[in-house]
Chains A and B, each alone.
Chain A
Amino acid sequence: MRSFLLALTAGLCLLSVPAAVPAFAQDTTPPAAETAPPSGLAKVIADNADAISRPSRQTIGPVVDAIGASGDPGTVTFLQAWGARQLGLRKSDGAIFRLSPSPEGFALADPVTGADAGTAPKSDITEIKPNAGVQGLIASALVRFQLSDPDPAKRRAALDTLARRGSAENLEPLLESIDDEPDPAIKAQKQRVAGLMTITHGATPEARIAAIESFGGDMALDFRAALNPILATTRKVFTGAPEGNVAAELKPGQSGFSAENAYAVLVADGLAPKRLTRTDQRAALESHIENGMVGGVPVAALNDPVQRDRAYTVLEAAGDVPAAATDDEVATLVAAHRYADIYNEPDSAVTDAARNALKSVSVKVGAMQGLDLGLDALSLASIYFLAAIGLAITFGVMRVINMAHGEFITMGAYTGYVVQQHITDYTLSIIVALPLAFAVTFAAGVAMERLVIRYLYKRPLETLLATFGISIALQQVFKNIFGTQARPLTAPGWLDGAWSLNDIVSISYIRIAIFVLALIFLAVFLFIMNRTRLGLEVRAVTQNPSMAASMGINPDRINMLCFGLGSGIAGIAGVAIGLFAKVTSELGSEYIVQSFMTVVVGGVGNIWGTLAGATLVGFLQKGIEWFNPSNTLAAQTYMILFIIIFIQFRPRGIIALRGRAAGD
């Protein structure tokens, strides 16, 4: 009942604004007048059925306005159905219905209330298909409603649509809706979108400049996206001085604009004929072969470009082929014109403002990109640190190169995978997997130390080769067990997503977690080394094994524990790395060389050295990638080259033991 009253009021309002009602509205008799007096939107629809069913961009404007003005709550659904081509006209009485497919043809529904209105065979219905232009008009009419929709979610959605592709006609309704907006967050967003739209669609240059300046040094992507089209240019040719809003005048021969480029512009503008390409010349010559000669030159001699030119000139003189521009002609033509990049935006004040705004933004953006790069590098560094810390223990403390370290990382990752096969809760499975991976790789490390490495102490090169043997054996075993395809190791849901400071700086939670994990490892390592009996004994064995042995420390036991510890940490690193990398049998070997680099660059026998090494390698790799983002392979190549050269100057790494204690 209430809706009926509302519709009635709306209808009265409509009548009181005769200008909005098209002239032909009066002479159509309401078709359903006998059953229920049409009013409000239903009346408008009935009145304009003809225009609605055969919409065109020219005639539809007033109708859309009338529908919009009706104020009926069904307006939005009606407009949506219209725009989505869901309406149809019943041929028998010219009534409009919302259609949906049904066995009999179409199921009909009232376009305003959505009430069921029976069915109709296909032959009785003309589907209403507004074209794209009309759809646009309908959509912008919709926007006006959506912007003041009682549901905040709908208002937000409408704003998002506007921010993505708002047109000039949306600006007005948007501005109008700002004052009545109850939600402060949406209000701010509306003001922002209005500002952005004013930059592009503002009525006067002054308004647009004011809008640009109102953003100050805002770094958001949408602001820059609004500015960039203003600064778009087109390359044009002029016989006299360049006209229009000139961005830059180009002199042929300057860098980035050769005479060839200039001529190409002339050709594109139709001011000059295309140059004769070698392919065209060849085709022309081929079609004029007579008795083994072309233009008096034997075919056999035509493998020489000079001879080809000569033959072509002869043909040209005879008028057999079109004249080709000579180099002189090209030069003259190029010199006779002036070239400039012209802004598509005619108003220079606007382009100046946009340029200045972009410039001040780009400085800030640069700084933020630097920060983002720093975060990326930090995260990479913590991955390398995690991968290398176990290696640093075995290599630094025991002077043993463990080529199978990478396989221990892989082993940890596979442990995580197997755990997830049995425990479906991701959070729980990771909590179980971390200590389990440590245990598994610790055991593997101890086994390897007991069975192989302890016989090879003081023979580091043999150790390298023997552990390499273990490495290739393990890798193949993994392949045989788990196959060659990547296995999933899924992070818990709370690690999905990313923390972002603004449009530029963001970092995924997994990477933050890895960074935290690296810090924990550092702390644990420092604690063990400096605060426990084990650490004391390890340091003693490192510095002087025989002296330590004579003090009652069992170096065998210490070596075994060290190796187990180093391997166990590799296992945990494996779980962490597996969360964001593909878990394959080659996972570890992808990190092994970088891990070695980290240890070598950092300096042996010192956890701070490993930290410094990981930081250097991580930042270096990201830095090089930044110079050449498309090519990570090249970045790795250059990084390794840098490290080789770095070793020249600090052969013992960043933090080196000095003096006689360092030994050789």
Chain B
Amino acid sequence: MKPGFIAKNPSVLIFILILALFTLGVTLLSNAYGTGFVSTSMVKTLGKTLCLCLIAIAMDLVWGYTGILSLGHFAFFGLGGYMIGMWLMYARTREIVVSSASGALPMTPQELNDAIASQVFGVVGSSQLPSIWHFAGSLPMQLLFVVLVPGLLAFVFGWLAFRSRVTGVYLSILTQAMTLALSLYLFQNDSGLRGNNGLSGLQNIPGVTAGQDALSVWFLWASAVALGLGYVLSAFIVSGKFGSVMRGIRDDEARVRFLGYSVETYKLFVFTLTAVIAALAGALYYPQAGIINPAEMSTVASIYLAVWVAIGGRGRLYGAVIGAAFVSIISTWFTGGRVPNINLGFYTINWVDWWQVLLGLSFVLVTLFAPRGLSGLIDLIDGLRAPKRGGDPLGPDDGALQEKEAEA
């Protein structure tokens, strides 16, 4: 990076600083390394939230900057989780099988494999290890798959979709269909990934004896590092001419084409790159969640992702982070039953039941009244005021920013 990068993007420095302080603070308050003020499950929630912030950044790159409303990025997130989950589950089961082996003879590789297979797949009535688990015993291979499998899927899908110039809502629907197809596929018992049972026990890391207290903090660190790196990388991408082209594609892709840029290649590049970022976020998320199943990859999840970015304010990286963090923490708060019920006399509003309604409606309100989302607040703090302009889009394309949405 050139020295001018940080100077030109002060938000990067501020972001990294806040992230570091946050991580340090949580560490010092954790059970394992500090006062124990923050419970281990809370540390896990925070670590997961950091992963969600990372995928929100990916979504912001693809939607906020490039104008592609992808409803498929949670599928990549889930795939990343599945890929790492395969290793976690396989290696963990191997440890259990080896330690509980009863026979007098040491196991042959075949016997070991069969024992693991019947442990892992007994639940779907199979004792055969599917061929896609061939490399499940190898961490480096599965880590490679975390990047390769979602990346390749995104590449092939994107190539097909962008090549035929599917844009706007058509593309959204197509990505939604892709997500649905993938989750339906994974719901089958013979998909080789345990059907609707999904992969479980992922919170136990094979070969690590430390307890969940310490593990949760380690994962928080890893998630923070990933988020920091992701933020810097994204800031680097959007700050230069590449960012200009991305925004140009969002607002008026035909014009970009006439400037000689191959819009399809750029979209494919961004789509694939963000898919990989999403997959990495997923690979960090699911060991903290402990379980992954196909329901996680529903199309609804991907739309939530767009909702976070929109609530945070699209087209700026910190907006995505704020949106994801805000919504997922508030959501945990509400659905955890910790918000007092409101008694209206004739009806008691139980927030566990009504939170979804509140979220949906507040999302509508944000779309209507605050196109800049929560980061509009940051602008206020900054003392910046958007000039009064109409609400016209800045370009003819569906994904174009509205004037009110754009940074002042």
Contact = CB atoms under 8 A, between A and B. Distances in A.
A contacts B directly (C-beta below 8 A): yes
Contact of B185 (A305, A479, A633): A633
Contacts of A562: none
A474 B359 CA distance: 11
A456 B366 CA distance: 12
A351 B350 CA distance: 72
A654 to B, nearest CB: 14
Contacts of B177: 593, 596-597, 640, 643-644
A286 B106 CA distance: 10
Interface string B106-122: 11111100000000000
Contact of B353 (A302, A455, A473, A479): A479
A299 B353 contact: no
B107 A452 contact: no
Contacts of A474: 360
Interface stretch (A62-70, A606-614, A645-653): A645-653
A452 B164 contact: no
A461 B405 CA distance: 14
A456 B105 contact: no
Interface of A: 278, 282, 285-286, 289, 294, 299-300, 302-305, 308, 395, 399, 401, 403, 452, 455-456, 458-462, 464-466, 468-477, 479-480, 593, 596-597, 600, 631, 633-634, 636-637, 640-641, 643-645, 647-649, 651, 664
A479 B174 CA distance: 28
A325 to B, nearest CB: 20
A401 B69 CA distance: 13
Interface stretch (B19-27, B235-243, B298-306): B298-306
Contacts of A403: 303
A468 B105 contact: no
Interface stretch (B9-17, B165-173, B317-325): B165-173
A641 B161 CA distance: 12
A299 B105 CA distance: 6
Q: Mostly helix, strand, loop or mixed at chain A's interface?
A: helix
A459 B181 CA distance: 27
Contacts of A597: 173, 177
6 contacts: A302-B106, A474-B360, A476-B356, A644-B178, A647-B174, A664-B167
Nearest to B182: A637
Among all A-B residue pairs, the 3 with the closest Cβ atoms: A473-B360, A469-B363, A476-B356
Contact of A648 (B164, B178, B364): B164
Interface string B140-169: 000000000000000001001101111111
A286 B174 contact: no
A455 B358 CA distance: 21
B173 A600 contact: yes
Given A641-B181, A645-B160, A401 B367 contact: no
Contact of B104 (A278, A286, A475, A648): A286
A596 B354 contact: no
A469 B311 CA distance: 12
A645 B107 CA distance: 47
A563 to B, nearest CB: 16
B187 A633 contact: yes
B393 A469 contact: no
B361 interface: yes
B105 A303 contact: yes
With most chain A CB atoms within 10 A of its CB, the pick from B166, B181, B358 is B181
Given A286-B105, A461-B169, A461-B172, A473 B357 contact: yes
A193 to B, nearest CB: 42
A252 to B, nearest CB: 25
B105 A596 contact: no
B40 to A, nearest CB: 30
Contact of A651 (B166, B169, B187, B362): B166
With most chain B CB atoms within 10 A of its CB, the pick from A299, A302, A401, A640 is A640
Contact of A299 (B106, B356, B393): B106
B184 interface: yes
B296 interface: no
B216 interface: no
Interface of B: 69, 103-111, 157, 160-161, 163-170, 172-174, 176-178, 180-182, 184-185, 187-188, 190, 254, 299-300, 303, 306-307, 310, 353-354, 356-364, 367-368, 371, 393, 396, 398-399, 402
Contact of B368 (A455, A472, A476, A649): A455
Contacts of A664: 167, 254, 396
A475 B354 CA distance: 11
A600 B367 contact: no
B103 A459 contact: no
Given A465-B310, A472-B359, A460 B181 contact: no
B108 A304 contact: yes
B307 A469 contact: yes
Contacts of B361: 469-470, 473
Contacts of A633: 184-185, 187-188
A465 B303 contact: yes
Contact of A634 (B105, B168, B188, B354): B188
A647 to B, nearest CB: 6
Contacts of A640: 177-178, 180-181, 184
Given A303-B106, A648-B164, A458 B307 contact: no
A452 B70 CA distance: 22
With most chain B CB atoms within 10 A of its CB, the pick from A278, A304, A401, A464 is A464
B255 to A, nearest CB: 12
Nearest to A452: B364
A315 B360 CA distance: 74
B178 to A, nearest CB: 6
Contacts of A458: 393
B307 A461 contact: no
Contacts of B310: 465
Nearest to B170: A600
A286 B306 CA distance: 61
Contacts of A289: 104
Nearest to B397: A664
A286 to B, nearest CB: 5
Contacts of B306: 465
Nearest to A479: B353
A464 B180 contact: no
B360 A464 contact: no
Contacts of B396: 664
B166 A462 contact: no
Nearest to B355: A476
A468 B310 CA distance: 13
B69 A464 contact: yes
A480 B184 contact: no
Given A305-B110, A460-B398, A664-B396, 13 more contacts: A282-B105, A286-B103, A289-B104, A302-B106, A399-B169, A403-B303, A460-B168, A469-B364, A476-B360, A597-B177, A640-B184, A644-B174, A644-B178
Contacts of B169: 395, 399, 401, 460-461, 464
A282 B103 contact: yes
B398 A299 contact: no
Contact of A285 (B105, B353, B358): B105
A300 B164 CA distance: 61
A462 B367 contact: yes
Nearest to A395: B169
Contacts of B353: 476, 479-480
Given A468-B307, A470-B364, A640-B181, A476 B354 contact: yes
B356 A465 contact: no
Given A286-B105, A289-B104, A480-B354, A466 B363 contact: yes
B108 A466 contact: no
A25 to B, nearest CB: 63
With most chain A CB atoms within 10 A of its CB, the pick from B254, B364, B402 is B364
B164 A647 contact: yes
A468 B174 contact: no
Contacts of A456: 367-368
Contacts of B367: 456, 462, 465-466, 469
Contacts of A466: 363-364, 367-368
